[in-house]
Structure 1
Amino acid sequence: MIVKNTNEGWRIITQTNHAFLATQIAQALKENFRTEYWLETLLAISNHETLETDFNSGERINNLNLPIDFREATSSKKELYSKIESMVRKASNRSIIVGALVAEHLMFLHKGDINKKSIITLCKETIKNAKSLHKIDDTTFERMYGVVRFCDRLSLMICTEELPDLDRKFEINDSLDIGKVFLYLKDKSIKVTPWPFQEETCSIYIEHKLLTKSHFKDDSDFINVFHKSLVERSIFELSK
């Protein structure tokens, strides 16, 4: 989960809602970024964060009884491997292409952390088998995965408020086939250059919950308060 301590309370964005925001971003891209496997690409983006990354694994609160942001959470190698295996296999049950894209993304995100041969083999074999079964060449697969990585990164920057001050630009990444893409803030909107989206402006949103309780007894207390809290919405405008 993505956690921010605000004056009103703890703002919590689930990993799965971050993935939904990434899917909104993908759907707004120009059509030339789409391959014949566009549906599978969207499914990979929406499923690259699953319930395993919300509340079903890892820590929720720290030893001070405060919510833990995913960037601060720790997990054992055993937990990491179990999560990766579960996510790749579940994604592959939707489509082996979805599984392959999720496997590629997990290897990118956890590069240097994965050293268990069976997990590496699972990811690489899933990618190999998807390419073979559907006759996907390396260039096409790279274009598909580039969309996954771009949308995930931009969504995460918005969710974590990793946004530049006025008159500064932050690089999103260079995973689309148009080179490096940057964002900056102007007139209360997020400017993106070069512009990768179909329309001249697009509106996207995230949902979050605001928890007004300052401390939590344990994980169960936190989850109970989370589920009882109302959903709120934040809208963002992307423009040239």
Structure 2
Amino acid sequence: MIVNATPNGWQVIYHRAHALLAAELAGQWRRKDAPVRLYATLAAISHHDDLEKEWEEDILTEAGVPKDFTLSSNNDVGSTVEKLAELANNARYRGRWVALLISMHISRLNESKRGQAPEMDKFLDEQLENQQHWRKELGIKKEDVDAAYAFMQWCDRLSLILCQQELPEDERFLEISKGPEGQRYDIMQRSDNLVVVKPWPFENDKFTVNVEACDISQVKFESSTELTQALQEAPIKVLEWTFVKS
């Protein structure tokens, strides 16, 4: 989950909500420049964080505060591989294209762990083999697959910038990432709170997206169970951003 401090406690955005925001942003992309299999790609974007099940996991730091996803450190390689395999296998129910993009996402996030344990190496090798197999079965060029995954990464990164409150002050630009065509994109929030992306990649000249966040008015917790209950009972705040072309 994504955790932001507030004056009275915490703002928590579930990872699946962040993924839905990423899909909303993807849906705004200029149609003529959209990646292949756009709707299946949107499905991959909206489900790429289905691995996260906050209400069922240890979501508390040793200090007793909500654990932001950047602080997560699961040292149990076997458990990590099992969870990643579940995400990869579940993606196959939505079709090979969704499975392919999510597998590529798993590879990108976990290749740095290669060499830590035999089971992780085996799992990573399987992902690469699956990706090659699915590309061949689908009859799609590698460059088209890479472009679609770059699009997925771009939307994921933009959603994280918004959810993690990373928009700079004083109308300064921040790099998002390179898009599916290799173009660099930057984001800026104007003094009137409208958001600008340059160059403009979207279909419409103005649109609004949102995400739901839990507003917790408690700083510390005794257990993950207590925090889970607080999250389930917390008021929901809708966070909105309006994007404009200039």
TM-score range, shorter chain: over 0.9
Q: 8 Å contact 1:2–1:159 — kept in the other structure?
A: yes
Alignment deviations for residues 33-53 of structure 1 (CA, whole Å, 9 cap, x no partner): 334411210111011101535
Cα distance, 1:221 vs structure 2: 0.9
Q: 8 Å contact 1:189–1:238 — kept in the other structure?
A: yes
Given the alignment, which residue of 198, 219, 244 partners 1:239? 244
Alignment deviations for residues 150-177 of structure 1 (CA, whole Å, 9 cap, x no partner): 0000000100011112242111001321
- Opposite residue 87 of structure 1, the aligned amino acid is L
Taking the aligned partners of 2:108 and 2:53, their CA distance within structure 1 comes to: 16
1:70 equivalent in structure 2: 69
Cα distance, 1:148 vs structure 2: 0.4
Q: 8 Å contact 1:16–1:54 — kept in the other structure?
A: no
- Opposite residue 183 of structure 2, the aligned amino acid is G
Q: 8 Å contact 2:19–2:48 — kept in the other structure?
A: yes
Matched, 1:45 2:45: yes
Secondary structure of 1:71's aligned partner = helix
Query: Structure 2 matches for 1:110-121, cutoff 5 A?
Result: 110-115=110-115, 116-121=120-125
Aligned residue pair count: 239
Taking the aligned partners of 1:175 and 1:123, their CA distance within structure 2 comes to: 24
Q: 8 Å contact 1:33–1:147 — kept in the other structure?
A: no
Taking the aligned partners of 1:36 and 1:14, their CA distance within structure 2 comes to: 28
Q: 1:53 to 1:196 in 2, by over 3 A?
A: farther
Taking the aligned partners of 2:209 and 2:24, their CA distance within structure 1 comes to: 7
Secondary structure of 1:112's aligned partner = helix
Taking the aligned partners of 2:78 and 2:55, their CA distance within structure 1 comes to: 17
Query: Structure 2 matches for 1:130-209, cutoff 5 A?
Result: 130-177=134-181, 179-186=183-190, 187-209=192-214
Matched, 1:222 2:227: yes
- Opposite residue 239 of structure 2, the aligned amino acid is S
Taking the aligned partners of 1:55 and 1:119, their CA distance within structure 2 comes to: 27
- Opposite residue 105 of structure 1, the aligned amino acid is H
**Unmatched 5+ stretches in structure 2:** none
CA RMSD of aligned residues (A): 1.6
Taking the aligned partners of 2:153 and 2:52, their CA distance within structure 1 comes to: 20
Q: 1:174 to 1:226 in 2, by over 3 A?
A: same
Q: 8 Å contact 2:59–2:224 — kept in the other structure?
A: yes
Cα distance, 1:226 vs structure 2: 0.7
Q: 8 Å contact 1:107–1:114 — kept in the other structure?
A: no
**Unmatched 5+ stretches in structure 1:** none
1:107 equivalent in structure 2: 107
What percentage of residue pairs aligned between the two structures are identical? 23
- Opposite residue 60 of structure 1, the aligned amino acid is I
1:98 equivalent in structure 2: 98
- Opposite residue 63 of structure 2, the aligned amino acid is L
Secondary structure of 2:187's aligned partner = strand
Taking the aligned partners of 1:167 and 1:5, their CA distance within structure 2 comes to: 22
Q: TM-score, normalised by structure 1?
A: 0.93
Q: 1:203 to 1:170 in 2, by over 3 A?
A: same
Taking the aligned partners of 1:14 and 1:216, their CA distance within structure 2 comes to: 18
Q: 1:145 to 1:33 in 2, by over 3 A?
A: farther
- Opposite residue 37 of structure 2, the aligned amino acid is Y
Matched, 1:25 2:29: no
Taking the aligned partners of 1:217 and 1:175, their CA distance within structure 2 comes to: 43
